A and B are shown apart, each in its own frame.
Chain A
Amino acid sequence: MRSRDTEFQKNLKRFARRRVVVVGTALVLLFIIAALAAPILTKADPNVQDLSELLHPPGGGHLLGTDELGRDIWSRILYGARVSLLVGLSSVGIAIAVGVPLGAMAGFYGGWIDEVMMRALDVMLAFPGVLLTIVLVVILGPSLRNVIISVGVYAMPNFARLARGEALSIRSNEYIEAAQAVGAPNWWIIWDHMLPNIISPIIIMGTLSVGNAILTAASMGFLGMGAPPTIPEWGAMLSNGRKYLLVAPHAATIPGLAILLLVLGLNLLGDGLRDILDPKMKN
């Protein structure tokens, strides 16, 4: 127990020594606090329109100004952090929950199961970038829930491939053979013996994917295929604000900056975690 503690402390020190990682962690924490403490940090309702205060610049009664419907942007940024974090975390959660068991099974069983699963992933990967998400949102219909599902499906193949690769590499290890020899069922071997061994690359990829998922979801919001207008979603806020870029640039720039800072924080954190937990993945 003691040696594990010191290893953890060593990692923590290594973590704290890297300034960029500290900056990343601080940024992410800042947004988590903003999301959780939104009702304390602002009294303004993110959806209340004040038609006498349209596109008010930052300052005065509105810290970050108001949008084209007179809604308080500070309040919408705070509540928007909830939406972005929810979308990022739940879509990556879906991707991990579906992708990792599928990938681990493909790697563990090999043969036709592996072949079928990998070809199915190839089909999903044939839709580059945001295209698969668009196709799925068109099929499922535009809503926040469907964006989460679509972004989750879009991120899934990466986790499946990672889990498959890791499962393949540990499949022939002696402790797996030993478990098989004593008659442990396959699902138990995958759950109890394989998954704990592939957890650290998945945490790293997960952290880096949350940022990517937030970007993809914001793109959907920007294209008007995301959350309904009553939900303060940063991508949609930017899309609405850009029509007033010449008269009120703050309406578009502030939501954009929020997305950038949160995603940058997550990427810095993910990069740092990777360097500490798995230096092999650095390249």
Chain B
Amino acid sequence: MSKMLLRRAAMSIPILLAVSVLVFMMIHLMPGDPARIIAGDSATEEDIAMVRTTLGLDKPVVTQYAVYMANVFKGDLGTSLRTHRPVVDEIKVRLPNTIRLAAVAMVLSVVFGVAIGVISASRPYSWADSASMVGALVGVSMPTFYLGLMLMLLFSVKLGWVPLLADNSLKSMILPAVTLGARSLALLARMTRSSMLEVLNQDYILASRAQGLPGNVILYSRALKNSMTTILTVAGLEFGHLMAGAVVTEQVFAWPGIGRLIVESIWARDFPVVQASVLIIAVAFVLINLLTDILYTVVNPRVRFR
């Protein structure tokens, strides 16, 4: 098994390298002179020349990449063109806010998604099941920014229960977290239902019924327990998507996370910040997926003993 895990971990290295190349190449792939793009439309020729030498854009691309990566490994992600502060400092402030938001959204979506899925699977084709699944489909079809605005309109503007703008309190986190997690919640509810229904059709469930085990015991200690590995794997993979989804949600609620930083930096043409933020999310996503795979292998006896 350890050989398999090592192979899986080794597979992430070329992916991470390719991701870093793509992120690094962002400015170079844009049509036009990178120095001119960064300096902006109103820049003079001297400004452009200065940007070119300061950022090392006059050197060969391969050298630029090598320098970039060497700096990344030293923890230097460049300097913001907008604030002239190290990019790392900007990210250090914003990233924890996004992680916090994604974590709360994750917990909400797992708890409610699994609960709804279990209720649906325990009474398939009942009205509760149909209502839950239609609700889940609406959740999957709902634009995040629309849901966010509607929740804001109802709970902040009309009812005044939660603050309209983010102030870092737990209360101001509820709406953004619900908005961000809604899609994952809907996906998890659908996944849990189908996974549970599959397990409930297995022979050992029939055997348990024949032994006279109560319905609830079969549902929770047999079916749910056996569906849990699949559910948790999907949940793990969803965490990375939540971090990316934060780009839109944070924009709706003015939440000071890394997603909002990306959008602000794109508008300000602050490319070092855009590159670093995208790199951080992509690397986190690859590592979370790797971790989920490893946990799945460790937890699932069918894979473990292969």
Partner-B contacts on A (CB < 8 A): 20, 119, 122-123, 126-131, 134-135, 138-139, 141, 211, 215, 218-219, 222-225, 235, 238-239, 242, 245-246, 249, 252-253, 256-257, 259-260, 263-264, 266-268, 271, 282-283
Contact = CB atoms under 8 A, between A and B. Distances in A.
B117 interface: no
Given A123-B15, A249-B153, A128 B143 contact: no
B214 interface: no
B198 A283 contact: yes
B194 A238 contact: no
Given A123-B15, A128-B244, A218 B143 contact: yes
Do most interface residues of chain A lie in helix, strand or loop, or is the interface mixed? Answer: helix
A271 B146 contact: no
B69 interface: no
B19 A263 contact: no
B31 A126 contact: no
Nearest to A208: B140
B76 to A, nearest CB: 22
Given A222-B251, A223-B251, A128 B141 contact: no
Give the most central of A215, A218, A239, A246: most B CB within 10 Å.
A215
Nearest to B238: A128
B243 A223 contact: no
Contacts of A222: 143, 145, 248, 251
A157 B134 CA distance: 28
A123 B263 contact: no
Contact of A126 (B15, B152, B153, B195): B15
Contact of A282 (B11, B14, B194): B194
Given A246-B157, A259-B143, A260-B143, A131 B137 contact: no
Interface stretch (B49-57, B90-98, B215-223, B278-286): B278-286
Interface stretch (B22-30, B79-87, B106-114): B22-30
Interface of B: 11, 14-16, 18-19, 22-23, 26, 29-31, 134, 137-138, 140-146, 149-150, 152-153, 157, 194-195, 198, 240-241, 243-245, 247-248, 251-252, 262-263, 266-267, 274, 278, 281-282, 285-286
Nearest to B28: A139
Contact of B285 (A128, A211, A249): A128
Nearest to B30: A139
Contacts of A218: 143, 145
Give the most central of B15, B31, B195: most A CB within 10 Å.
B15
A260 B153 contact: no
B261 to A, nearest CB: 12
Given A123-B18, A138-B274, A260-B138, A131 B281 contact: yes
A135 B22 contact: yes
Nearest to B283: A126
Given A128-B241, A222-B248, A222-B251, A134 B143 contact: no
Contact of B137 (A126, A215, A242, A264): A264
B267 A267 contact: no
B63 to A, nearest CB: 22
Given A242-B252, A260-B146, 19 more contacts: A122-B15, A123-B22, A126-B18, A126-B19, A128-B244, A128-B285, A129-B247, A131-B281, A138-B274, A141-B30, A222-B251, A223-B247, A223-B263, A245-B157, A256-B146, A256-B149, A260-B142, A271-B137, A283-B198
